[in-house]
Amino acid sequence: MSNEHTVKSYEEELRYLIDSVIKMGSLTESQLVDSMDAIIKVDKDSIDKIIKSDDEINKFRSKIDTQIMTLLVKRAPMAIDLRETISSLKISQDLERIGDLSKSNAKKVKPLPLDLPEELLGNLKRLGELVIKQLNDVLDSYVNKNYDKAKEVWEKDEQVDDLTYIAMESVIDFLSKDKKNLDFSTHLIFATKNLERAGDHITNIAESTTTSDMNAKKIFMSFFMGIINNYT
């Protein structure tokens, strides 16, 4: 009876952890969508809201770290359960970084002019839409344990790189037409690179959903040693 209760408690805690990651992912996706809308529409009124949402994402990351530490120390999960726990750890780290990049892009909206070239905005929009779809797909693969879909996300990373290159060309063309566009172009270049980096973190999430036993154990030891170092 006691063993059944322990197993049930572990399963409940694991389910609670996965729910936290799903909620964090949903919030991160919404923030990414909002930051892209702000750039494309040059919507300066939405900047504060996007920045505040990053605080909520960071709170989820702290909450998930605590949940994982409790699971690893109290329950000592093994094999498939360890993979599930470590995947959640890695995914939450990448989601936090995507949130940071979305916040950074929101801040870059403030100095932008309202009359940016349509071609430039169109290329940025296509890049942003692909990155958002990639995030949506990888979160879906995590929720449904669809490893084939996670692999598809990983394989599409080259498309993100290709659209990044096209968007960069548009920004450089915008700069070449008038040196007065230098400041605006700098912000747009960083915004474009941030989207590419978000795509890289999404690829990391795709890889985390298929973490092997060996990698899970290595990550577990790294995480556990980090906890010990924080208290010594």
Comparing CA positions, the residue from 126, 130, 118, 128 lying closest to residue 174 is 118
CATH assignment of 2-230, given 1.10.340.30, 3.20.20.70, 2.60.40.350, 1.20.58.220? Answer: 1.20.58.220
Counting as low any pLDDT under 70, the low residues of the chain are 1-8, 75-81, 211-232
Q: What is the pTM of this model?
A: 0.86
Q: Which residue has the tokens 């790189």?
A: 161
Task: Specify the pLDDT at position 232.
Answer: 52
Q: Which residues contact 149 (CB under 8 A, 6 or more apart)?
A: 137, 138, 140, 141
Nearest-angstrom CA–CA distance, 130 and 133: 5
Q: Where are the domains of the chain?
A: 2-230
Nearest-angstrom CA–CA distance, 36 and 32: 6
Task: Specify the pLDDT at position 163.
Answer: 97
Q: What is the 3-state secondary structure (H, E, C) of the chain?
A: CHHHHHHHHHHHHHHHHHHHHHHHHHHHHHHHHHHHHHHHHCCHHHHHHHHHHHHHHHHHHHHHHHHHHHHHHHHCCCHHHHHHHHHHHHHHHHHHHHHHHHHHHHHCCCCCCCCCCHHHHHHHHHHHHHHHHHHHHHHHHHHHCCHHHHHHHHHCHHHHHHHHHHHHHHHHHHHHHCHHHHHHHHHHHHHHHHHHHHHHHHHHHHHHCCCCHHHHHHHHHHHHHHHHHHCC
Nearest-angstrom CA–CA distance, 3 and 207: 33
Task: Specify the pLDDT at position 224.
Answer: 52
Task: Specify the pLDDT at position 62.
Answer: 93
What are the backbone angles phi and psi of residue 156, rounded to the nearest 5°?
-85, 0
Residue 63 — left, alpha, or beta (φ > 0 → left; ψ -120 to 50 → alpha)? alpha
Nearest-angstrom CA–CA distance, 126 and 166: 10
Task: Specify the pLDDT at position 223.
Answer: 53
Nearest-angstrom CA–CA distance, 89 and 110: 34
